[in-house]
Structure 1
Protein backbone atom coordinates (compact mmCIF):
# COMPACT_ATOMS: atom_id res chain seq x y z
CA UNK A 1 0.00 0.00 0.00
CA UNK A 2 2.79 2.41 0.84
CA UNK A 3 4.44 1.81 -2.54
CA UNK A 4 1.18 2.82 -4.25
CA UNK A 5 1.00 6.03 -2.24
CA UNK A 6 4.63 6.81 -3.04
CA UNK A 7 4.03 6.02 -6.72
CA UNK A 8 1.05 8.37 -6.80
CA UNK A 9 2.94 11.28 -5.23
CA UNK A 10 5.94 10.60 -7.48
CA UNK A 11 3.57 10.71 -10.46
CA UNK A 12 2.28 14.12 -9.33
CA UNK A 13 5.86 15.36 -8.88
CA UNK A 14 6.97 14.08 -12.30
CA UNK A 15 3.87 15.34 -14.13
CA UNK A 16 4.15 18.79 -12.60
CA UNK A 17 7.75 19.23 -13.69
CA UNK A 18 7.17 17.76 -17.16
CA UNK A 19 4.14 19.95 -17.82
CA UNK A 20 5.98 23.07 -16.63
CA UNK A 21 9.06 22.10 -18.65
CA UNK A 22 11.07 22.39 -15.45
CA UNK A 23 13.49 19.60 -16.31
CA UNK A 24 16.23 20.73 -13.94
CA UNK A 25 14.21 19.39 -10.98
CA UNK A 26 14.03 15.85 -12.38
CA UNK A 27 17.35 15.78 -14.28
CA UNK A 28 19.15 14.40 -11.23
CA UNK A 29 17.13 11.18 -11.34
CA UNK A 30 17.47 10.68 -15.09
CA UNK A 31 21.22 11.27 -15.34
CA UNK A 32 23.20 8.05 -15.29
CA UNK A 33 26.55 9.41 -14.19
CA UNK A 34 29.30 7.34 -12.63
CA UNK A 35 29.26 9.21 -9.33
CA UNK A 36 26.35 7.26 -7.86
CA UNK A 37 26.92 4.47 -5.42
CA UNK A 38 24.57 1.52 -5.76
CA UNK A 39 23.73 -1.17 -3.24
CA UNK A 40 21.74 -3.43 -5.57
CA UNK A 41 22.17 -4.37 -9.21
CA UNK A 42 19.48 -6.99 -9.77
CA UNK A 43 15.73 -7.46 -9.50
CA UNK A 44 14.33 -8.86 -6.28
CA UNK A 45 10.95 -9.02 -4.57
CA UNK A 46 11.13 -5.32 -3.66
CA UNK A 47 11.61 -4.26 -7.30
CA UNK A 48 8.70 -6.45 -8.33
CA UNK A 49 6.44 -4.90 -5.68
CA UNK A 50 7.47 -1.40 -6.75
CA UNK A 51 6.86 -2.24 -10.42
CA UNK A 52 3.42 -3.63 -9.58
CA UNK A 53 2.49 -0.54 -7.56
CA UNK A 54 3.68 1.78 -10.33
CA UNK A 55 1.74 -0.17 -12.96
CA UNK A 56 -1.44 -0.04 -10.87
CA UNK A 57 -1.21 3.71 -10.24
CA UNK A 58 -0.20 4.73 -13.75
CA UNK A 59 -2.71 2.37 -15.37
CA UNK A 60 -5.56 4.09 -13.56
CA UNK A 61 -4.46 7.68 -14.22
CA UNK A 62 -2.47 8.01 -17.44
CA UNK A 63 -4.12 7.63 -20.83
CA UNK A 64 -1.14 8.31 -23.14
CA UNK A 65 2.63 7.92 -22.78
CA UNK A 66 2.00 5.31 -20.12
CA UNK A 67 5.40 3.66 -20.58
CA UNK A 68 7.23 6.97 -20.07
CA UNK A 69 5.43 7.64 -16.80
CA UNK A 70 5.93 4.06 -15.58
CA UNK A 71 9.61 4.20 -16.38
CA UNK A 72 10.11 7.66 -14.90
CA UNK A 73 8.31 6.86 -11.66
CA UNK A 74 10.00 3.47 -11.38
CA UNK A 75 13.39 5.07 -12.01
CA UNK A 76 12.90 7.66 -9.28
CA UNK A 77 11.57 5.14 -6.74
CA UNK A 78 14.30 2.57 -7.39
CA UNK A 79 17.16 5.07 -7.43
CA UNK A 80 15.97 6.40 -4.08
CA UNK A 81 16.57 2.87 -2.79
CA UNK A 82 20.07 2.65 -4.36
CA UNK A 83 19.21 0.24 -7.19
CA UNK A 84 21.38 0.36 -10.29
CA UNK A 85 18.68 1.18 -12.81
CA UNK A 86 18.73 3.02 -16.14
CA UNK A 87 15.96 4.27 -18.36
CA UNK A 88 15.99 3.14 -21.99
CA UNK A 89 14.06 4.85 -24.75
CA UNK A 90 13.61 3.18 -28.11
CA UNK A 91 12.07 4.14 -31.44
CA UNK A 92 10.69 2.18 -34.37
CA UNK A 93 10.09 3.16 -38.01
CA UNK A 94 7.65 2.86 -39.97
CA UNK A 95 5.27 3.91 -38.59
CA UNK A 96 6.94 5.98 -35.93
CA UNK A 97 6.50 4.52 -32.46
CA UNK A 98 8.43 4.91 -29.24
CA UNK A 99 8.70 3.01 -25.99
CA UNK A 100 10.42 3.50 -22.62
CA UNK A 101 11.49 0.86 -20.12
CA UNK A 102 13.91 0.31 -17.27
CA UNK A 103 16.96 -1.92 -17.08
CA UNK A 104 17.96 -3.08 -13.63
CA UNK A 105 21.56 -4.22 -13.43
CA UNK A 106 22.82 -5.49 -16.77
CA UNK A 107 19.91 -7.14 -18.55
CA UNK A 108 16.80 -7.37 -16.37
CA UNK A 109 13.91 -5.27 -17.70
CA UNK A 110 10.93 -3.61 -16.04
CA UNK A 111 8.07 -2.32 -18.20
CA UNK A 112 9.98 -3.66 -21.22
CA UNK A 113 7.26 -5.66 -22.94
CA UNK A 114 8.12 -5.75 -26.65
CA UNK A 115 11.25 -3.64 -26.22
CA UNK A 116 13.27 -5.87 -28.55
CA UNK A 117 11.41 -4.33 -31.53
CA UNK A 118 12.84 -0.86 -30.81
CA UNK A 119 16.17 0.75 -31.58
CA UNK A 120 17.58 2.23 -28.37
CA UNK A 121 18.34 5.95 -28.52
CA UNK A 122 19.13 6.45 -24.82
Structure 2
Protein backbone atom coordinates (compact mmCIF):
# COMPACT_ATOMS: atom_id res chain seq x y z
CA UNK A 1 0.00 0.00 0.00
CA UNK A 2 2.98 2.32 0.52
CA UNK A 3 4.03 1.82 -3.09
CA UNK A 4 0.50 2.17 -4.45
CA UNK A 5 -0.12 5.44 -2.65
CA UNK A 6 3.36 6.85 -3.44
CA UNK A 7 4.56 7.21 0.13
CA UNK A 8 8.12 8.21 1.06
CA UNK A 9 10.42 5.34 0.19
CA UNK A 10 8.51 4.33 -2.96
CA UNK A 11 7.33 7.66 -4.34
CA UNK A 12 9.46 8.05 -7.46
CA UNK A 13 6.97 6.55 -9.93
CA UNK A 14 4.15 9.05 -9.39
CA UNK A 15 5.44 12.20 -11.17
CA UNK A 16 6.49 10.23 -14.24
CA UNK A 17 3.16 8.40 -14.42
CA UNK A 18 1.12 11.60 -14.10
CA UNK A 19 3.17 13.45 -16.68
CA UNK A 20 1.70 11.32 -19.50
CA UNK A 21 0.35 13.10 -22.58
CA UNK A 22 -3.27 12.04 -22.17
CA UNK A 23 -5.38 13.65 -19.48
CA UNK A 24 -7.24 10.37 -18.96
CA UNK A 25 -4.15 8.58 -17.65
CA UNK A 26 -3.47 11.43 -15.25
CA UNK A 27 -7.11 11.41 -14.21
CA UNK A 28 -7.02 7.68 -13.49
CA UNK A 29 -3.86 8.04 -11.40
CA UNK A 30 -5.11 11.09 -9.53
CA UNK A 31 -8.58 9.84 -8.73
CA UNK A 32 -8.35 6.09 -8.36
CA UNK A 33 -4.97 4.38 -8.42
CA UNK A 34 -3.24 6.26 -5.61
CA UNK A 35 -6.41 6.13 -3.55
CA UNK A 36 -6.24 2.34 -3.40
CA UNK A 37 -3.25 2.30 -1.05
CA UNK A 38 -4.83 4.75 1.37
CA UNK A 39 -8.12 2.85 1.25
CA UNK A 40 -6.30 -0.41 2.02
CA UNK A 41 -4.63 1.07 5.09
CA UNK A 42 -7.99 2.54 6.17
CA UNK A 43 -9.66 -0.86 5.84
CA UNK A 44 -6.90 -2.53 7.86
CA UNK A 45 -6.81 0.19 10.51
CA UNK A 46 -8.72 -1.88 13.12
CA UNK A 47 -5.87 -4.40 12.95
CA UNK A 48 -3.15 -1.76 13.08
CA UNK A 49 -4.67 0.27 15.90
CA UNK A 50 -3.95 -2.55 18.36
CA UNK A 51 -0.18 -2.10 17.96
CA UNK A 52 0.95 1.48 18.72
CA UNK A 53 4.33 1.05 16.99
CA UNK A 54 2.60 0.35 13.67
CA UNK A 55 0.45 3.44 14.09
CA UNK A 56 3.55 5.50 14.86
CA UNK A 57 5.25 4.10 11.76
CA UNK A 58 2.25 4.99 9.58
CA UNK A 59 2.20 8.52 10.99
CA UNK A 60 5.96 8.90 10.51
CA UNK A 61 5.77 7.79 6.87
CA UNK A 62 2.94 10.29 6.42
CA UNK A 63 4.94 13.17 7.92
CA UNK A 64 7.99 12.45 5.76
CA UNK A 65 5.81 12.19 2.65
CA UNK A 66 4.05 15.49 3.42
CA UNK A 67 7.31 17.40 3.81
CA UNK A 68 9.04 15.74 0.85
CA UNK A 69 6.06 16.14 -1.49
CA UNK A 70 5.53 19.80 -0.62
CA UNK A 71 9.23 20.60 -0.97
CA UNK A 72 9.49 18.88 -4.35
CA UNK A 73 6.25 20.52 -5.56
CA UNK A 74 7.67 23.98 -4.89
CA UNK A 75 10.73 23.23 -7.06
CA UNK A 76 8.78 22.13 -10.16
CA UNK A 77 8.23 24.22 -13.27
CA UNK A 78 5.94 21.76 -15.09
CA UNK A 79 2.33 22.02 -13.91
CA UNK A 80 1.65 18.28 -14.15
CA UNK A 81 4.73 17.41 -12.09
CA UNK A 82 3.72 20.10 -9.62
CA UNK A 83 0.27 18.53 -9.30
CA UNK A 84 1.84 15.07 -8.98
CA UNK A 85 4.05 16.12 -6.08
CA UNK A 86 1.09 17.95 -4.57
CA UNK A 87 -0.86 14.70 -4.78
CA UNK A 88 2.00 12.94 -3.03
CA UNK A 89 1.94 15.52 -0.27
CA UNK A 90 -1.81 15.21 0.17
CA UNK A 91 -1.54 11.43 0.33
CA UNK A 92 0.96 11.95 3.12
CA UNK A 93 -1.65 13.96 5.02
CA UNK A 94 -4.10 11.09 4.60
CA UNK A 95 -1.49 8.61 5.85
CA UNK A 96 -0.76 10.89 8.81
CA UNK A 97 -4.47 11.01 9.67
CA UNK A 98 -4.63 7.22 9.52
CA UNK A 99 -1.54 6.96 11.72
CA UNK A 100 -3.28 9.16 14.27
CA UNK A 101 -6.33 6.87 14.18
CA UNK A 102 -8.67 9.23 12.35
CA UNK A 103 -9.96 7.12 9.49
CA UNK A 104 -13.00 9.36 8.91
CA UNK A 105 -10.82 12.42 8.32
CA UNK A 106 -8.51 10.43 6.03
CA UNK A 107 -11.36 9.06 3.91
CA UNK A 108 -13.06 12.46 3.72
CA UNK A 109 -9.78 13.98 2.56
CA UNK A 110 -9.37 11.12 0.08
CA UNK A 111 -12.77 11.76 -1.52
CA UNK A 112 -12.44 15.53 -1.70
CA UNK A 113 -8.88 15.25 -2.99
CA UNK A 114 -9.90 12.82 -5.73
CA UNK A 115 -12.54 15.23 -7.04
CA UNK A 116 -10.46 18.37 -6.83
CA UNK A 117 -7.24 16.87 -8.20
CA UNK A 118 -9.06 15.17 -11.07
CA UNK A 119 -10.51 18.52 -12.10
CA UNK A 120 -7.12 20.20 -11.76
CA UNK A 121 -5.53 17.58 -14.01
CA UNK A 122 -8.25 18.01 -16.60
CA UNK A 123 -7.63 21.76 -16.52
CA UNK A 124 -3.84 21.52 -16.82
Which one scores higher on RCO, CA 8 angstroms, separation ≥ 6? 2
Q: Normalized per residue, which structure has more strand?
A: 1
Asked if Structure 1 and Structure 2 have the same fold, meaning a TM-score greater than 0.5 normalized by the shorter chain, the answer is: no
Q: Normalized per residue, which structure has more helix?
A: 2
> For this structure pair, what is the TM-score category when the shorter chain's length is used for normalisation?
0.3 to 0.5
Give the TM-score taking structure 2 as reference length: 0.41
Give the TM-score taking structure 1 as reference length: 0.41
